[in-house]
């Protein structure tokens, strides 16, 4: 008897199938983000130099995002700001993921450990997130370090919650009980049975944490905490732009913010589509 899976190929007439579209979208978005980061690394002092002859110019071909009151090109400033934001986001997400891995695994040790983790999650979620970041960044003496630590230390609770619930649910599965009845050790069960279910959750969790971390970093910077006014962060660019709003220099606020939005959107798209690839049951609409 022949065993085969019918794979439907819509061919050229039907265009790309969902799988190809998804992979294409993920690749495109990743490439976009990577380009921004690399470009931001290669921008040197000269290209950001002040030029008082060309200050406060509206967007043009030469300066697609316009220039600011010191004649700096807003496009270059934005790219550099975005690069900084993505890197801070990456750092914060990694730290937060690490914390949730540790706490998630710790919660599976026993009842007391589990209630401790759950209590810690509740504690961190009980203060408004933005306020908590402000508090922590002040505690670490403010400045760039304060903000980065503040953002990194506050994004783990939701992922930890997901991981904890998943571990709890997995531990009640019949196949885990059976494994225990086969005399397998806790460690063996944790690595062979539980971990394979958790890894996709961690990967997805980290990627979906990015946009939150970036947004929070930008918000805190916008409010005036952390990064010094000389850093080309998006938050700083936007808070500076507030002074020039009534003067009608709309491009100072519009383009940098829009670029940030696109970056966030790119991360959300990557996360969502990666989720589809991992869990195809949700891919029907």
Partner 1 sequence: MKQRKLGYFIGKKILKLLCLLIVVCIASFWIVEQSPIDPVRAYIGEMSIQPEQKAKLEEYWGVNTPSHEKFMNWAGNILKGDFGISLIYRMPVTDVMKERFTASIILMASSWLMSGILGFILGIIAGMKNGTLVDKVIKTYCYILIAAPTFWLALIMLLVFSVYLGWFPIGLGIPIGTVADDVTFLDRIHHLILPTITLSLLGVASIAMFTREKLIEVMSSDYILFAKARGERGLGLIMRHGIRNVALPAITLQFLGFSELFGGAVLVEQVFSYPGIGQAAVAAGLRSDVPLLLGIVIVSTIFVFFGNLVADIIYEFIDPRIKQQEMTT
Partner 2 sequence: MYLKGENISFGYKKNNFILKNVNICLGSGEVLGLIGDSGSGKSTLCKILAGYEKNYTGTVSIDGKKIPDGVYNPVQLIFQHPEKAVNPKWKMKDILNESYVVPQKILDSFGIKKNWLNRWPNELSGGELQRFALARALSPKTKFLIADEITTMVDAITQVQIWDSILDMVDELNIGVLVVSHDKKLINKLCHDIVYMSDLINI
Partner 3 sequence: MEDIDRITTKKARNNEALLKVKDISLSFIQYTSGLRQTELKVISNLNLEAYSGEILAVVGSSGSGKSLLAHAILGILPSNARLYGSMEYNGQPLTQEKKEEIRGKEIALIPQSTNYLDPLMRISNQVIGNVNEKNKESIKKLQRYVFQKYNLKPEVDRMFPHELSGGMIRRVLVSTAVISSARLVIADEPTPGLDEKNLKETLSYFKDMANKGCAVILITHDIDAALKISDRIAIFYAGTILEEANIEDFANDGENLRHPYTRALWNALPQNKFKAIKGHQPMQDEIIEGCFFYERCSIKNELCSKGIPELKTINGGLVRCNNVS
Footprint of partner 1 on this chain (CB under 8 A)?
122-123, 125-131, 134-136, 138-142, 211, 215, 218-219, 222-225, 234-235, 238, 241-242, 245-246, 248, 250, 253-254, 257-258, 260-262, 264-265, 268, 285
Tokens encoding 184: 């397998």
Stretch that binds partner 2, among 38-46, 64-72, 82-90, 192-200 (CB under 8 A): 192-200
Stretch that binds partner 2, among 98-106, 171-179, 230-238, 242-250 (CB under 8 A): 171-179
Q: Is position 52 an interface residue for partner 2 (rule: CB under 8 A)?
A: no
| CA neighbor of 96 nearest in space, from 244, 214, 230 | 214
Applying CB under 8 A, the residues found at the interface with partner 3 are: 1-8, 17-19, 22, 276-278, 280-281, 283-284
Task: Write down the least CB distance from residue 173 to partner 2, Å.
Answer: 7
Task: Write down the least CB distance from residue 198 to partner 1, Å.
Answer: 23
Q: Is position 282 an interface residue for partner 2 (rule: CB under 8 A)?
A: no
Q: Is position 102 an interface residue for partner 2 (rule: CB under 8 A)?
A: no
Task: Write down the least CB distance from residue 6 to partner 3, Å.
Answer: 5
Stretch that binds partner 2, among 65-73, 143-151, 153-161, 167-175 (CB under 8 A): 167-175
Return the HEC string of 242-268. HHHCCCCCCHHHHHHHHHHHHHHHHHH
Q: Is position 193 an interface residue for partner 2 (rule: CB under 8 A)?
A: yes
The set of residues, in sequence order, having a beta carbon less than 8 Å from that of 178 and lying 6+ positions away, is none
Residue 225 binding result from partner 3, partner 2, partner 1, none, given CB thresholds of 5 to 8 Å by partner type: partner 1
Which secondary-structure segment (H or E) carries 122? Answer: helix 111-126
Task: Write down the least CB distance from residue 275 to partner 2, Å.
Answer: 16
Query: Which letter, b or e, does each residue of 52-83 get, where b requires 16 or more Cβ atoms within 10 Å of its Cβ?
Result: eebebbebeeebebbbbeebbbbbbbbbbbbb
Which secondary-structure segment (H or E) carries 271? Answer: helix 251-278
Q: How many Cβ atoms from other residues are within 10 Å of residue 144's Cβ? A: 17
Task: Write down the least CB distance from residue 128 to partner 1, Å.
Answer: 4
Binding residue for partner 2 (CB under 8 A) from 185, 191, 228, 279?
A: 185
**Is 167 within 8 Å of 108 (Cβ atoms)?**
yes
Q: Three-state SS for 74?
A: helix
Alpha-carbon distance of 180 to 135, in angstroms, equals 45
| Residues at the interface with partner 2 (CB under 8 A) | 3, 173-175, 177-179, 181-185, 193, 196-197
């Amino acid at each position: 008897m022949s065993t085969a899976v019918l794979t439907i190929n819509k061919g050229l007439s039907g265009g790309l199938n969902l799988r190809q579209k998804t992979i294409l979208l993920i690749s495109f978005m990743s490439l976009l983000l990577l380009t921004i980061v690399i470009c931001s690394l290669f921008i040197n002092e000269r290209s950001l130099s002040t030029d008082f002859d060309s200050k406060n110019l509206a967007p043009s071909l030469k300066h697609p995002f316009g220039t600011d009151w010191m004649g700096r090109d807003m496009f270059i400033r934005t790219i550099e700001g975005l690069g900084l934001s993505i890197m801070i986001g990456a750092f914060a997400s990694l730290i937060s993921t690490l914390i949730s891995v540790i706490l998630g695994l710790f919660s599976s040790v026993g009842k007391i450990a589990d209630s401790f983790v759950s209590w810690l999650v509740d504690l961190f979620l009980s203060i408004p997130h933005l306020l908590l970041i402000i508090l922590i960044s002040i505690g670490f003496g403010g400045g760039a370090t304060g903000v980065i630590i503040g953002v990194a230390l506050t994004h783990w609770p939701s992922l930890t919650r997901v991981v904890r619930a998943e571990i709890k649910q997995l531990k009640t599965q019949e196949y885990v009980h059976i494994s225990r009845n086969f005399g397998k050790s806790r460690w063996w069960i944790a690595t062979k049975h539980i971990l394979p279910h958790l890894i996709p959750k961690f990967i997805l969790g980290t990627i979906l944490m990015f946009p939150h971390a970036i947004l929070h970093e930008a918000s805190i910077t916008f409010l005036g905490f952390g990064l010094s006014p000389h850093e080309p962060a998006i938050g700083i660019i936007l808070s500076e732009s507030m002074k020039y709003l009534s003067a009608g220099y709309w491009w100072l606020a519009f383009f940098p913010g829009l670029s940030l939005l696109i970056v966030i959107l790119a991360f959300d798209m990557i996360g969502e589509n990666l989720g589809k690839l991992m869990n195809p049951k949700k891919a029907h609409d």
